[in-house]
A and B are shown apart, each in its own frame.
Chain A
Amino acid sequence: MPEVLKAPLVVEFPFTRSLGPVQSAFLTGLRERVVLGVATADGRTLVPPVEYDPVTAEDLRDLVEVAPTGTVTTWAWNHEPRRGQPLDTPFAWVLVRLDGADTALLHALDVPGPDAVRTGTRVRIRWAEERTGAITDIACFEPYDGEPAELTGSDGTFEEKVTGIVAHARLDYTYSPGRAQSAYIAALSGRRTVGERCPSCRKVYVPPRGACPTCGVATAEQVEVGPAGTVTTFCIVNIKAKNLDIEVPYVYAHIALDGAGLALHGRIGGIPYDQVRMGLRVEPVWTDGGRYPDHYRPTGEPDADYETYKELL
């Protein structure tokens, strides 16, 4: 068995999310150093506020200002902050019930050590210097020894309301393709295309994924296919892809390699794009040091008869 292949895989996505009226008021308020909650029909004030009552599911719209000071309701000491968390020095995660609120808000508390925090500790908001209308406008909480801070008197109306947020996310993985695909990739780097045959239906899968999707059994018998093959179908690409140094238009095709039970895909070169056709015979073109074919070009053979590849479309 070849060694396990691994490669870094970064999944990064900015989600643009719109806000409802209550979330919009709350996040706009944070930008203006005002904390707003929402009142429920039974007289409770929820902070952070939500659009619907968590008990009755009724619409909630009545904004109520609460103080930027409050009390820790539970905590956890985080001696090793992780990427993206509010502070990069050790801190306490806290749920804080702000003065005037009936529910608690999650954030970080900046204290020197776990001995400086307990349930019941009084705290106040430390505002971020640059505020955009996001939960991170609260930089963190800090200890506070005193009475509830005074309210600003805001009724929740602001100029230039925040109507959306962009939530960035990045996750770093180590991708490993598994046994069948590792064997395929290892063979490719030796300029051989190796599929796997299903022991039940005898079909040869290229690239192999380790299982026959028709029979639901493991494939294992390795079968070298190609190098030449037949274009079974194709499309003409007219839009230049970002970070891809290929002139448009070009042809991207399904290619049934000789001996394979299904087509793989690849770019067709060495022929004007408008002369590519179904049945065209092609072979892989390798570049120096390339671990997979750069593209496929015509072999010069006569076109394949439709009957020979119609099952592979």
Chain B
Amino acid sequence: MTRDIAVVAFGQTDTLRTTEEMSEVEMLMPVLHDVLERTGLKTADIGFTCSGSSDYLAGRAFSFTLALDGVGAWPPISESHVEMDGAWALYEAWTKLLTGDADTALVYSYGKSSPGPVRDVLTRQLDPYYLAPLWPDSVALAALQAQALIDAGDTDEPALAGIAARSRATDNPHAQLRGPVPHGDYLVRPLRTGDCPPIGDGAAAVVLAAGERARALCERPAWIRGIDHRIEPHALGVRDLTDSPSTRLAAEKAGAFERPVDTAELHAPFTSQEVVLRKALKLGDDVRVNPSGGALAANPIMAAGLIRIGEAATRIHRGESDRALAHATSGPCLQQNLVAVLEGDPR
């Protein structure tokens, strides 16, 4: 690695059950302005722009091109998009900065799950031959994984309820579910409503900068020491659902195991998935896990992974963390996983 690259600003909307009074660009624009204001940058100062979203969520074709209205893309900008969580857009932007083609990058993502039946919408990302024709919804697949963990003795229903309660005991003002939330009835057994993420709409944005530029834009930049993403074989029945080798490998490649982290922001939409991730990442009890509440408190799909990186970076900016791990996931049962390691300069 030849250049040091840091997260220098992060912004996010409140995650809300519905934002029907706003279009996607109307929801997104305030966070774009927020991160630009924090750094004093204008669109014209940004070297590369990269976004993550999925048209399927709100059912609007090419919504990502309309979202570009909020950036101000004239004169033409250098721009890219991934049909994935914004964490992967950040990965692309980080790569672009590493090449030296740009010194700053704007990364954003958004998701409006409220217009559609999100449990069914997510079935359309599955294997079209063997899985999609059966319409196995996202909660059902997570429940199969949860039962496998219970059978293996890795967790039980009270422990899962404990993860839910701890996550929602957050002071995160952007969270959709906060404070005591009833653990509820089974949605798909063994998962209860409390084990599942709330359905909500939201957006997030990050500014990346390289080297001295980062120091000029941010008092304590959150340096990306390593970032890597890996994927599991796509057939669920081939995998050991109680483990996440792809997370462990991504963490290893990102350098997560070289020194302990003090904070971890994990993208675990279901309580049971936190159990898998803690094991894969070898997180001890001394690591603060998801002080933001994680995806159980707010899960704007396509933004929730980028938000994990933003939350970890913000803690470094504020001096509340010196070395933090951020994780993002995509697909059923932690199919694909990204791990980033962030550090602040010594104090």
Listed in ascending order, the chain A residues whose CB lies under 8 Å from chain B are 1, 4, 6, 9, 11, 15, 17, 19, 23, 27, 46-48, 50, 54-55, 73-79, 82-86, 93-95, 97, 103-108, 114, 119, 134-136, 165, 167, 169, 171-182, 209-218
Contact = CB atoms under 8 A, between A and B. Distances in A.
B237 A210 contact: no
B247 interface: no
B83 to A, nearest CB: 16
A175 B32 contact: no
Contact of B143 (A50, A93, A214): A93
Contacts of A94: 144
B194 to A, nearest CB: 16
Contacts of A119: 147-148, 151
16 contacts: A1-B21, A46-B235, A76-B147, A76-B190, A79-B186, A82-B137, A85-B135, A93-B141, A135-B131, A135-B133, A165-B129, A176-B115, A209-B23, A215-B72, A216-B43, A216-B73
In this complex, which of A79, A105, A176 has the most chain B Cβ atoms within 10 angstroms of its Cβ?
A176
B22 A178 contact: yes
A181 B24 CA distance: 12
Interface stretch (B117-125, B159-167, B280-288): B117-125
Nearest 7 interchain pairs by C-beta: A216-B72, A178-B23, A104-B237, A76-B143, A54-B233, A84-B135, A77-B189
Interface of B: 20-26, 29, 32-33, 43, 56, 58-60, 66, 68-74, 115-117, 119-121, 123-124, 128-137, 140-141, 143-148, 151, 186, 188-191, 233-238, 241
Contacts of A46: 235, 238
A169 B124 contact: yes
Given A15-B128, A76-B147, A85 B116 contact: no
A179 B134 CA distance: 38
B237 A171 contact: no
Contacts of A215: 72
Given A4-B20, A74-B151, A134-B133, A17 B128 contact: yes
In this complex, which of A181, A211, A212 has the most chain B Cβ atoms within 10 angstroms of its Cβ?
A211
Contact of B237 (A77, A85, A103): A103
A47 B238 CA distance: 9
Contacts of B72: 212-217
Contacts of A78: 140, 188
A9 to B, nearest CB: 6
Given A46-B238, A76-B188, A216-B32, A11 B59 contact: yes
A197 to B, nearest CB: 15
B128 A54 contact: no
B29 A216 contact: yes
B236 to A, nearest CB: 6
A167 B146 CA distance: 29
B25 A210 contact: yes
Contacts of A179: 21-23, 26
A268 to B, nearest CB: 26
Contact of B116 (A103, A172, A180): A172
Contact of B235 (A4, A48, A180): A48
A1 B132 CA distance: 41
A182 B23 CA distance: 10
Nearest to A78: B188
A211 B26 contact: yes
B121 A106 contact: no
Given A77-B190, A165-B128, 6 more contacts: A75-B147, A106-B130, A171-B120, A211-B26, A214-B72, A217-B29
B140 A93 contact: yes
A85 B141 CA distance: 13
B134 A77 contact: no
A14 to B, nearest CB: 12
A23 B191 CA distance: 33
Contact of B130 (A74, A83, A85, A135): A135
A209 B24 CA distance: 10
Contacts of B69: 209-213, 216
A106 B236 contact: yes
B140 A76 contact: yes
B134 A83 contact: no
Contacts of B129: 17, 19, 23, 27, 135, 165
Contact of A106 (B23, B32, B131): B131
A173 B191 CA distance: 26
Contacts of B135: 82-85
Contacts of A47: 237
Given A114-B189, A119-B147, A218-B29, A173 B58 contact: yes
B132 A77 contact: no
Contact of B236 (A6, A95, A165, A212): A95
Given A54-B238, A76-B144, A211-B25, A136 B133 contact: yes
A107 B133 contact: no
Given A50-B235, A77-B188, A210 B74 contact: no
B71 A216 contact: yes
Contacts of A167: 128, 132-133
Nearest to A118: B151
Contact of B70 (A4, A107, A216): A216
Nearest to A93: B140
A165 B56 CA distance: 22
Contact of B117 (A74, A79, A172): A172
B29 A9 contact: no
B134 A95 contact: no
